[in-house]
Structure 1
Amino acid sequence: MREGEVQKVARLKSFLIFFIPFIVFFFYFTSNNEHNPSSANHMQHEYVEIPEGYQVPSVNISVTEDKSGTWLLSVDTTHFNFAPQKVGNADPSFNEGHAHIYVNGKKINRLYGQFYNLDTLKKGENEIMVTLNSNNHGALAYRGKPISSSVVVENGK
């Protein structure tokens, strides 16, 4: 092998020694991030099935653009109370907890009340979804169907 070829091989080895661990760590950390929509944990906190005999909660949302150009999420619930002081309890709750907000499939935050400022949205269609969640973070469900509401808003700006 000529000296130039030896140098090229050495540079390739150096690059691969850096690049391969980088790719491994990148995929490990991005696949284990609970806020990553492609993560196995995304919206998979386990479902908390509402047992028969409990009032079944419901959620309805609306999203409106305000005069400043940001978007306001309004959340109305029935048979459900926000209980931020109890978030993280190990025991499931059926009629209290918090909500998770998703914009275009990506979880952006938890919600502990009726209103949330979504700030600006990307131009075009945006899907906003809210799920009701137990204090133990499990998504509430009734007869296997998650308790959620979603709307699509068009941002023309």
Structure 2
Amino acid sequence: MRYFKYALILTYAALLSFKLFAQQEMMDHSHIPIAVPSDTTIPALSLKLLKDSMSGYNLILDTQRYDLSVPPEGAMNMQQMMSVTTNNDTGFLQGHAHLYINGVKIQRIYGHALHLPANLFKSGINTVSVTLNNHGHMYWTAQGKKIVATLYVNDQSKEFITYRFESFPSKVESTH
């Protein structure tokens, strides 16, 4: 009887943890694409990374035809999270951005500039990537491509930014 109680408790705990895990997985839409509607202008994204005078780095997002904004207040239902939101005044897509350093998601971005602490970077070559996302965290795509900008930086090199990739650049800058 005693073992039966333990088995029952363990089974219940396992089922509860699977349910919680499944709910968490259902809410993570950051790996699901959402296409820019054909009647909407394609957003553009470029990045600039500058060494901060005190510590770390400052990342500047240059967006065009995109409204970086916080999600609407209150709970969003699944249909709202999976949908396209546009700015009523400009007609531009609305959403936020996701920051990745060396392939690891660091945070959401709701504005055009942010400070990145030095401890997010390793010595040598690092990647800094930003994707544009809807308020349900789905990443925007256009013409079959993810809207993303990536900088390859090397703090050990004379040229700090060694390579730049932007699927829909807002600015064309030389890397050398």
TM-score norm. by structure 1 comes to 0.68
Where 2:62 maps in the other structure, the secondary structure is strand
Alpha-carbon distance between aligned partners in 1 of 2:123 and 2:70, rounded to the nearest angstrom? 33
Show the counterpart of 2:64.
78
| 1:47 aligned partner, one-letter code | P
Structure 1 residue 102: Cα displacement = 0.3
Partner residue of 2:84? 92
Alignment of 1:1-157 (within 5 A): 43-44=30-31, 46-86=32-72, 89-90=80-81, 91-93=83-85, 95-120=93-118, 121-156=121-156
CA contact (8 A) 1:101 1:129 kept: yes
8 Å Cα contact 1:140/1:146 also seen in 2: yes
1:110 & 1:51 partners in 2: Cα distance? 23
Deviation at 1:93, TM superposition (A): 2.6
Provide the secondary structure at the position in 2 that maps to 1:84.
Answer: coil
Q: Which residue of 2 aligns with 1:4?
A: none
Q: Give the gaps of 5 or more residues in structure 2.
A: 1-17, 87-92, 158-176
User: Offset of 1:42 from its aligned partner?
Assistant: 8.3
Q: Which has the larger radius of gyration?
A: 1
User: What SS does structure 1 have at the residue aligned with 2:42?
Assistant: coil
Shift of 1:43: 4.2
- Structure 1 runs not aligned, ≥5 long: 1-27, 35-40
Q: Percent identity?
A: 27
Deviations 1:82-104 (A, max 9, x none): 12042854233361100000000
How much is the aligned-residue C-alpha RMSD, in angstroms?
Answer: 2.6
